[in-house]
Structure 1
């Protein structure tokens, strides 16, 4: 920011010069006026002296006329080149006052309406963070600078959860839900944050959020896992087994959390039997949901979207070769975060990329899990996928589309 403030100060000096030059010129004109008045006074004094000498008989009429002529010549010589226009003193305080108030007013307006925080944040995001704390600080300022960005709030909430800050995470998830809508995935993660914020107590609000999430999506993984944990902690082992089996049925075969989940099911089953209970088969509803999920998983074809990305000719002089380009797909009706992302630079364009389930940011948020998506390509000098300078968007299309899509970056990113 140092170079920014130096440039600002230079511009202020230029502006002040336009205000102060007339004042300085006025002072010079005033000094010229004062000198002229002094010469006139001396001329009049010389005439009076000559008149007195003539009355005393020391000068003849001819000598008196010659003396007057000589005094007049001296007066003309002294006043030659002087500016005869007089500048009014009433206007001088106004430029001085403006010279002081204009910079102060401009600074106040800039700090209130300007974007110095966004400029500094963009510079920071251009460099990789050196620690989790630095990334958290950047995301916090990104949320402050972009209060209508559900994506920024979502990523900040996830970061808070990784730092064991569930109270802060719950607040961010709540704000993200308010902007992006009551999507099942967001409701489930909001409920999870509230559960840990309440010291692992299953409050009525947590119950309401998980119920709403599962009503919209019976396979919502965070809610299923949370309900299983809550049931296990309260020694409702049968329910814990039922929820975790439903979750296990919808997870991909290569999901890294499957071994831990299977171990949890085994421990819950052992404790149920040890307490004198009998492990029951999964309820009919759960069986149907699990069977449907397994069937969908078996029959579902992994999504693969082929996209050719180019930059509009009119924008080629407005970007730099090193500017980041993010190509991603997001659900048209679903969570605000991208489902699959690829990163290039402007120098790579035009380029052909593929977005697939393997590019998913989260296992449960795969392209094939959403019937309709939108493709987005964004140029970001700051290296931020959530905001940039230029963007191109496609019309909604089926996630099962196999034909190559053309995407042109041609619009300002608002």
Structure 2
């Protein structure tokens, strides 16, 4: 920045010179006596002539007095006419000197207040490549500080935080960038991804809402598709994971390194899908959802247990599936493959009841909110809707 300020100083010096050179070139005139002294001499000479005429009898005493008064008036008028000229010459020198001092100071003050010296310094820094990721992050932080309304700068700062394994900081920057740029779907997907990792890989309600919004705006938003595939895999919904990842793989160009990683995930999901026991006997299909009055009372990472109990039988569940609030609403299928104990299966009972419990502590036997169905036959094939709508007593 030294050469920058040297250039600024040189420009200010040039500007001041235009004001000072005319003053420095001014020289006082070489005229002999000042005009006032000349007027006084002429007045005295005129008085002497009038006195001579009076002695010679040419003028009377009354005429002499009148002539003296007239000469005095003329002298006074000539003297007053000289003063404004002298004052103007004095002001004519002072004003340029004052302007030469104030103009550079005013220009410097305005630049420091409205100028972009911080941006000039950043531009000089970015001219050289950063030595490390940490240095790049620091540069981006200063860029965002200098240009807080730049969505691009805020976005790249979020990417840098993700590279440094700082997902919570990245989520805040992506949220800010989304607000500045009108919530584009690709930014919503990256915001959701950062929140997912910041919440210890939990698919919270906010993550679900962001991915839904992103895919509604752009059904091919790649980050959201990948994230939904991860959530489905973690929830043992392997077919959904295969579907999301296959769809994503088709959007990536040939040679993209992410394609190989996706193929590995798809193969693993299919392997787990094939390893699941084939469902035999009764298969209950149920859609689980939250009542509107309950949505604000739960968190996205609260556990949800969907289970079946026998009517008139043991209290232990016949089949259980564990989800989270962020997964709701969701459709699941319960069968003998979900039995907790081999001797307690759906196929051993005729009448059952479906239940869903929200448990913040992750306990299947107690929680905060509950939903129950009416008794139904174990061989029911119609889709059942289970709404969690009451406090768990």
TM-score by length of 2: 0.46
Q: Which has the larger radius of gyration?
A: 2
